[in-house]
């Protein structure tokens, strides 16, 4: 190897060693800007896969900021009319067959919804990550043929669903193509991947996501497919009231 090649190799090695990555907090801000909006209205399908087979639940949801969320089950028939309402830190579910409203709190928030890989916290959460986590960019990887920044998140406060997270954020679209969620001990609890994306209202947004509760050996994962989504739409005030549960 001649001297010129040796010098070039050394320069490349030095550049890699001292490579600077974008600030993790700034990446989260860009991701939040893509994923969040003042209000959202969406219809979706949740396909729950287990050792016994699969079943599909269709829903319509409304969200307003981080504090308000309302979801109504549209299908199948046996679950049609079930509703969930979140107002700040309070969560209720309503079962029309029993005509009963149940408060979901404490450890119940981490329970599975309908045997899926999603918990009540996952389903109703619309938090802005930059407010709850300190982020550090640790490197870069290729995920699904897309260049991504690898970002590690550490909770800034207690009470969050996952004390630490790891995200693979698309460098161009700023979507989290993969996420891993950990307990305080560092044990991996759940994994999420965005398998398909769509472009709507001038922004990229998830189309199909796959969730896997790694602790549930009976689960084969849950697919969450967004059929339609509208951003910054007007939502009637009554939607985010307990009266809407029985309406």
Cβ proximity of 218 and 211 under 8 Å: no
pTM: 0.88
Both tokens of 71, joined, read 């979801």
What is the model's pLDDT at position 106? 82
First to last CA, the chain: 78
Return the H-helix or E-strand segment holding 99. Answer: none
Report the CATH number of the 21-246 domain.
2.50.20.10
Could you please report the per-residue DSSP string of 169-203? EETTT--EEEEEEE-TTS-EEEEEEEEEEEEETTE
What is the model's pLDDT at position 121? 83
CA–CA separation, 9 and 13 (whole Å): 6
Domain ranges of the chain: 21-246
Residue with structure tokens 């991504």?
Answer: 148
Q: Print pLDDT tens along the chain (247 aa).
A: 565 555 555 544 444 444 589 999 999 999 988 988 999 999 999 999 998 899 999 999 999 988 999 999 999 999 999 999 999 889 999 999 999 999 998 888 889 999 999 998 887 666 678 888 999 999 999 999 999 999 999 999 888 889 999 999 999 999 999 999 999 999 999 999 999 999 998 899 999 999 999 999 889 999 999 999 999 999 999 999 999 999 8
**In 73-148, alpha helices (H):** 120-124, 129-132
Both tokens of 122, joined, read 């996952």
Q: 3-class SS at 12?
A: helix
What is the model's pLDDT at position 109? 86
CA–CA separation, 242 and 239 (whole Å): 8
CA–CA separation, 183 and 79 (whole Å): 32
What is the model's pLDDT at position 162? 93
Both tokens of 131, joined, read 């407010």
What does residue 3 show for φ and ψ, rounded to 5 degrees?
-60, -35
């Amino acid at each position: 190897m001649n001297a010129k090649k040796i010098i070039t190799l050394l320069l490349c090695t030095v550049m890699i060693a001292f490579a600077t990555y974008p600030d993790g907090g700034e990446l989260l801000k860009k991701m939040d800007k893509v994923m969040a909006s003042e209000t959202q209205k969406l219809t979706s399908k949740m396909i729950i896969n287990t050792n016994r087979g699969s079943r599909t639940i269709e829903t319509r949801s409304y969200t307003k900021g981080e504090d308000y969320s309302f979801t109504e089950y549209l299908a199948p028939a046996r679950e049609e009319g079930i509703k969930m309402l979140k107002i700040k830190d309070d969560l209720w579910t309503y079962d029309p067959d029993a005509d009963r409203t149940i408060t979901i709190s404490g450890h119940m928030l981490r329970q599975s919804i309908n045997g899926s890989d999603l918990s009540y916290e996952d389903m109703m959460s619309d938090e802005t990550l930059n407010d709850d986590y300190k982020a550090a960019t640790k490197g870069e990887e290729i995920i699904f043929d897309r260049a991504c920044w690898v970002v590690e998140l550490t909770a800034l406060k207690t009470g969050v669903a996952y004390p630490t997270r790891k995200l693979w954020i698309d460098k161009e679209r700023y979507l989290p193509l993969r996420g891993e969620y950990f307990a305080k001990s560092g044990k991996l609890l759940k994994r999420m991947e965005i398998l398909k994306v769509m472009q709507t209202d001038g922004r990229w947004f998830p189309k199909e996501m796959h969730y896997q509760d790694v602790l549930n050996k009976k689960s084969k994962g849950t697919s969450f497919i967004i059929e339609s989504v509208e951003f910054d739409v007007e939502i009637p005030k009554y939607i985010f009231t307990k009266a809407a549960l029985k309406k």
